[in-house]
Amino acid sequence: MPAILLCRRPEASFSAALRERFRVLDFLASGEPLPAFLAAAPAAPEPPRAAVVTGGCSVRVDAWFLDAAPSIRCVVSTGAGVDHIDLAECARRGVAVANSGDVYSTDVADYAVGLLLDVLRQLSAAGRYVRRGSWAVQGDYPLGCKLGGKRVGIIGLGNIGSRVAKRLEAFGCVIQYNSRKPKDSVPYKYFPNVHDLAVESDMLIVACALNKETRHIVNKNVLEALGKSGVIVNIGRGSNIDEEELVLALKEGKIAGAGLDVFEHEPKVPAELFSMDNVVLSRHIAVFTKESRSDLHAHTIGNLEAFFSGQPLLSPVQADSVVQ
Amino acid sequence: MPAILLCRRPEASFSAALRERFRVLDFLASGEPLPAFLAAAPAAPEPPRAAVVTGGCSVRVDAWFLDAAPSIRCVVSTGAGVDHIDLAECARRGVAVANSGDVYSTDVADYAVGLLLDVLRQLSAAGRYVRRGSWAVQGDYPLGCKLGGKRVGIIGLGNIGSRVAKRLEAFGCVIQYNSRKPKDSVPYKYFPNVHDLAVESDMLIVACALNKETRHIVNKNVLEALGKSGVIVNIGRGSNIDEEELVLALKEGKIAGAGLDVFEHEPKVPAELFSMDNVVLSRHIAVFTKESRSDLHAHTIGNLEAFFSGQPLLSPVQADSVVQ
C-alpha cells in the first residue's frame, strides 16, 4: 500500500476508508514536530509521496513543510480554499496540488442564498422574537426586505459564485460580478473592480478564494460604496473582508446588514455582532452537510488514487487559478 | 367620491391614499356593531358599494355580514388567502370578490425557500449557538442536511407554489406536487393525494389556500408518511396542518423538522415548539416586505377603481378557484 502523510484529524469512517487503501502516517496524532515524526516513521517500503491537509488547521504547506517532507509530490486538501498552501512554492518544486473540487459547491451556494434570505427577511432575528414569546405580547416585528429584482454583486464567479448566481436568477435578481477577468460564458455584467460593483449593487456576496489579491477585498471604501441599504454575505474567507471596518460599518449603520459564515479569527466572532439583529452569524459551516462529508471522503480518496496510479488529479489546483 | 366600507386597520400612508380617492367609512375605528355603524353612517350621496377586508381580523364576510351591509357589491381582500370570505355566499348574491392577486407571491415563495434552507442548514439554530458564544467554547455544531437532489412535494401549485417550484429547481431539487387536478403546463410529477406525495417526498411545502377540503390536509397519516427524515414547511395557513399532531410528531421524532410561518391559533404558537432547535418559527410574515406593502396598497386601490368604473377586477376570486 502506498504511504500518505495525514495532516488533519479525520472522522472515524474516513480514517478507516483511508487505511483500507493507504499506509497512513498520522502526523497530528503523533504530537511530534514534523521532521522528528518523519524521521521516526517507518520509511519502508517507501516514504509518503502524498499528503492530506485541510484549512483552518495548524499545518501550513509552505517551503518549510516541503523541506521537512521532501518525499511529498502531491498535496490533497480536503477544503475548497487553499490559502493554507503556498501554491507558488509547490509549483516551483513540481508538487501537485488538489482541492475538494466541486464537492462543496452546491452546499456553499445554497448556504449563501440561505444567509441572504435570512438577513433580508429576518428569519433568525424574528424567530428569536417569536421564541421569546414576544409575538403574542408585543405584536408585529419590523418588516424585512424583498429579494426579487435586487442587484446582487458576486465577488468571485467560480464553482461557488456561479451556482449562487444561478440560484438567485431564479429569484428574479439582477446578477453582476467581479473576478480577475470577465467570463465569456455568462450573461452577467462584469465589473473589473469591487468598488464599482458595490456602487451598483444592493447586495454583495463574497465567493472568492483568499490570497494576497483578495485579502480585505471588501474594505472600508467598498462598504461605503455598498451603502446604507446594502447587505453583504461572506461564504469565502473571513479575511476577504476587513472585519474591523465591517463591524464599524454595521455599528454605525453604514450598511444595512450582513450574513457571515466566516471570520478573520475563527472561532472568535467579534462580540459586538452578538447583539445585532441585522447580522446572521454562522460557524464556517457552509461547506458541510451530512451528505457533503461522505462525498468529500470519496473525492479525496479519488484524488489520491489518481496520483498514485499516475492519472490526472480529479481537481488539480494551479498556482494562478485561485482568484475566481 | 364613491364610498367604501373599510374593515381593516390600514397604515397611515394607505389610509391617506384611500381617502384621496374614496369616502372611507372606517368600521373598526368606530367600535360599533356593523348594523349600528352602517345605520349611523352618512348614506349620502350613496351607501358603500365596496368593502376592504383582510384575513386574521375580526370581520368575516359571511351571510350575516352581507345581510348587515346589503349595499356591498364588491369585497376586496388585502390578503392572498380568502378563508375569511364565504365565497359561495358572495357568489349566490352576485357580490364580486378580489384578493391581493400576485402581489405577494414572489415574497412568499422566497420566504418558503428561506424557511426550508433554515431548517435543513440550521441557520437560526446554529446562529443562536454562535450568539451564545458556544462555538469557541464547545466546538462544532451538528451538521445539517443538503438541499440539492432532494424530492420536494408542494401542496398547492398556484401562484405561490409554482414560484417555490421554480426556485427549488435552481437548487437541483426534484419537484412534485398535489393539487385539485394536474396542471398541463408543468413538467412535475402529479400526486392526486397528499399521503402518496408525502411517501415519495423528502420535504413537503404547504402552499395551498385554506378551505373545507384543505383544512388539516396534512394530518397524522401524512406526517407519518413523510417520515423520520422528513421536513415540512408551511407558508399557507396554520389550519392546513393538524397542529396538535404536528407538535406530537416533532416531539416524538416522527419527522425531522419544520419551518412554520403560520399557526392554527395565531399569534399563539404552541409553547412546546420554543425549545425545539429543528423548528424554525416565524410570525405570519411571508407575505410582507417593505416593498410588498406598497405594491399591495396600489393593487387594492386598483381593484376598487376597477369596480367603481365598471371594469374587470384586477384579481377576481371565483368560488371554485381557491384550492390550488
> Hey, is the C-beta of B13 within 8 angstroms of any chain A C-beta?
no
Instruction: Find the range with the poorest average confidence among A286-290, B114-118, B168-172.
Output: A286-290
DSSP string, B295-310: HHHHHHHHHHHHHHTT
A179 or B102, which is more confident: A179
The predicted-structure confidence for A172-221, as pLDDT tens digits, reads as follows 999 999 999 999 999 999 999 999 999 999 999 999 999 999 999 999 99
The residue of B129, B228, B283 whose CB has the most chain A CBs within 10 angstroms, and thus the best one to mutate to test that interface, is B283
Contact by Cβ (8 Å): A21, A301:
yes
The one catalytic residue in A20, A46, A244, A266 is: A266
Q: In which region does residue A188 sit, left (phi positive, over 0), alpha (psi from -120 to 50) or beta (all else)? A: beta
The predicted-structure confidence for A215-242, as pLDDT tens digits, reads as follows 999 999 999 999 999 999 999 999 999 9
**Cα separation, A75 vs A162, whole angstroms:** 26
B232 or A266, which is more confident: B232
pLDDT band at residue A43 under the 50/70/90 scheme: low
Q: What is the CATH number of domain B105-281?
A: 3.40.50.720
Q: List CB contacts (< 8 A) between A133 and chain B.
A: 274
Instruction: Judge: B118–A114 Cβ closer than 8 Å, yes or no.
Output: yes
Contact by Cβ (8 Å): A152, A168:
yes
Q: List the beta bridge partners of residue A233.
A: A205, A259
Domain B3-103+290-308 has CATH 3.40.50.300: no
Domain residue ranges in chain B: 3-103+290-308, 105-281
Structure confidence at residue A83 (pLDDT): 87
In whole angstroms, what separates CA A93 from the centre of its chain?
Answer: 26
Contact by Cβ (8 Å): B159, B315:
no
How many residues does this entry show for chain B? 324
Closest by Cβ to B118, choosing from A123, A135, A148: A123
What average pLDDT does chain A have? 93
**Cα separation, B212 vs A278, whole angstroms:** 40
pLDDT band at residue B288 under the 50/70/90 scheme: confident
How many residues does this entry show for chain A? 324
Structure confidence at residue A56 (pLDDT): 65
Residue B44 predicted with pLDDT over 70: no
Q: Do the domains B3-103+290-308 and B105-281 sit in the same CATH topology, yes or no?
A: yes
Q: List CB contacts (< 8 A) between B147 and chain A.
A: 110
**Cα separation, B310 vs A170, whole angstroms:** 37
**Cα separation, A138 vs B174, whole angstroms:** 40
Instruction: Find the range with the poorest average confidence among A162-171, A255-264, B36-45, B105-114.
Output: B36-45
Read off the pLDDT of each residue in B169-178 and give the average, rounded to a whole number.
98
Residue B249 predicted with pLDDT over 80: yes
Which whole-number Å values give the CA distances from A102 to A32, A78, A162, B171, B285, in the listed order? 33, 11, 12, 15, 36
**Cα separation, A203 vs B216, whole angstroms:** 39
B135 membership: H or E segment, kind and range: helix B134-138
Closest by Cβ to A127, choosing from B124, B140, B143: B124
Structure confidence at residue B293 (pLDDT): 87
B65 or B136, which is more confident: B65
Q: Give the A:B interface size as CB pairs under 8 Å.
A: 163
Packing angle between helix A290-308 and helix A12-21, nearest 10 degrees?
A: 20
The one catalytic residue in A84, A237, A297, A299 is: A237
Query: Percentage of chain B surpassing pLDDT 90?
Result: 77
Contact by Cβ (8 Å): A254, A247:
no
Instruction: Judge: A172–B106 Cβ closer than 8 Å, yes or no.
Output: yes
Which B residues in the span 19-38 are in contact with A, Cβ-Cβ below 8 Å? none
**Cα separation, A290 vs A303, whole angstroms:** 21
Nearest-Cα distance to chain A for B281, in Å, is: 5
**Cα separation, A55 vs A47, whole angstroms:** 24
The predicted-structure confidence for B222-247, as pLDDT tens digits, reads as follows 999 999 999 999 999 999 999 999 99
**Cα separation, B318 vs B322, whole angstroms:** 7
Structure confidence at residue B141 (pLDDT): 82
Q: Is the peptide bond before A42 cis (omega within 30 degrees of 0)?
A: no
Which B residues in the span 101-130 are in contact with A, Cβ-Cβ below 8 Å? 106-107, 110-111, 113-115, 117-118, 120-121, 123-124, 126-130
pLDDT band at residue B9 under the 50/70/90 scheme: confident
Q: List CB contacts (< 8 A) between B170 and chain A.
A: 166-167, 169-170
Which A residues in the span 265-304 are in contact with B, Cβ-Cβ below 8 Å? 267-269, 274, 280-283, 285, 288-293
Residue A64 predicted with pLDDT over 60: yes
Instruction: Find the range with the poorest average confidence among A31-45, A107-121, A149-163, B239-253.
Output: A31-45
Q: List CB contacts (< 8 A) between B293 and chain A.
A: 143
**Cα separation, B253 vs B270, whole angstroms:** 17
Which whole-number Å values give the CA distances from A274 to A227, A280, B130, B135, in the listed order? 22, 9, 8, 12
What average pLDDT does chain B have? 93
Instruction: Judge: A130–B289 Cβ closer than 8 Å, yes or no.
Output: no
Residue A322 predicted with pLDDT over 50: no
Structure confidence at residue B324 (pLDDT): 40
The predicted-structure confidence for A80-105, as pLDDT tens digits, reads as follows 788 899 999 999 999 999 999 889 99
Structure confidence at residue B162 (pLDDT): 97
Which B residues in the span 125-184 are in contact with A, Cβ-Cβ below 8 Å? 126-131, 133, 135-136, 139-141, 143-148, 166-167, 169-172
Q: Which stretches of chain A are assigned E, i.e. beta strand? A: 3-6, 23-26, 50-53, 74-77, 96-98, 151-155, 174-178, 189-190, 203-206, 231-234, 257-260, 279-281
The predicted-structure confidence for B195-207, as pLDDT tens digits, reads as follows 999 999 999 999 9
**Cα separation, A144 vs A152, whole angstroms:** 17
ipTM at complex level:
0.85
